Amino acid sequence: MALAATLLLLIQSAIGMLVNLYVTIPGRHPGAHPSQYFGGSLRSVTWAIIHGAPALAVHAALGVALVFIVIGTAIDALRLRRRAIVVWSSIAASLVIGAGFNGASFLDFNDSTSSLIMALLAFTAIACYSVVMFLLAGARHVND
The model's pLDDT over 4-23, given as tens digits with 9 standing for 90+, comes to 999 999 999 999 999 999 99
Split at pLDDT 50, 70, 90, the class of 140 is: low
Which amino acid belongs to residue 27? Answer: G
Which amino acid belongs to residue 76? Answer: D
| Residues 65 and 45: beta-carbon distance below 8 Å | no
Nearest to 94 by CA among 114, 70, 127, 118: 70
Mean pLDDT confidence for 107-118: 94
The boundaries of the domain holding residue 54 are 2-21+29-143
Work out the mean pLDDT of the chain and round it to a whole number: 93
Backbone angles phi, psi at 139, to 5 degrees: -65, -40
Domains contained in the chain, number: 1
Distance CA(67)–CA(105), nearest Å, equals 16
Concatenating the DSSP letter of every residue in 90-128 gives HHHHHHHHHHHHHHHHHHHH--HHHHHHHHHHHHHHHHH
Instruction: State percent of the chain over pLDDT 70.
Output: 96
Split at pLDDT 50, 70, 90, the class of 108 is: very high
* pLDDT at residue number 93: 98
Split at pLDDT 50, 70, 90, the class of 143 is: low
Residues in the chain: 144
47 has pLDDT over 60: yes
pLDDT digits (tens, 9 = 90+) for 76-103: 999 999 999 999 999 999 999 999 999 9
Q: Is 143 helix (H, G, I), strand (E, B) or coil?
A: helix
